[in-house]
Amino acid sequence: MKRKDFYQLVLPVTDKLYRMAFRLIPDDLQAEQLVVDSLNAYLIKEKKKILAASEYELLSKKDIQISRRLYFKGILRYMGEIGCRRSSQLVDQTKFNQPSDFQSFYGLAPKVRLIISLRYDFQFTVDEIEDIATMPRYEVIEKLHNGRFLLLNDFNQGVQP
């Protein structure tokens, strides 16, 4: 597969990549840099797999969808690793850039935000999240449960009878 073919496959999911990056780092410039870095990391580390793939023109619609999802999950894996590390480094800088409507979400740990976003925004299964986040199943379920509990608790405290 040529680089042009790879970009043709990835282009339709770029808005989702930017959305995920902003969930990890709530700063426009840093989120954009996270997308670029995770895409570059994926291209460098998975170069052999990408080059061995079939040409875009030879793929059926179903194969295009499968390939697109596979590449999307691979890029998200690198984005999760880089974004969680970078988010903890930029905690002081991003504290002021957090959207005021979502303080409880951005108050969660970066890994928890990653897991919750993958599950509820991108509709990944627990098995897929386990693969993307490179953590054991029990930890994925624990972070989902605890993150949901904290968000609902914050929401219920904000609503006064």
Q: If 0-12 CB within 10 Å is exposed, 13-18 middle and 19+ buried, where does residue 91 land? A: exposed
Over the range 93-108, which residues count as b (16 or more CB within 10 Å of their CB) and which as e? ebeeeeeeeeeebbeb
**Residue 10 near residue 71, CB atoms below 8 Å:** yes
Name the one residue in this structure whose structure tokens are 């426009």: 28
CATH for 146: 1.20.140.160
Residues 6+ apart with CB under 8 A from 128: 73, 118
In terms of residue numbers, what domain contains 36? 3-158
pLDDT values of the chain reduced to their tens digit, one per residue, 161 residues? 677 888 888 899 999 999 999 999 988 899 999 999 999 999 999 888 888 887 878 888 898 899 889 999 999 999 999 999 998 777 666 555 656 667 788 888 999 999 999 999 999 999 999 999 999 999 999 999 999 998 888 777 765 55
Report the number of distinct structural domains present in the chain: 1
pTM of the model: 0.84
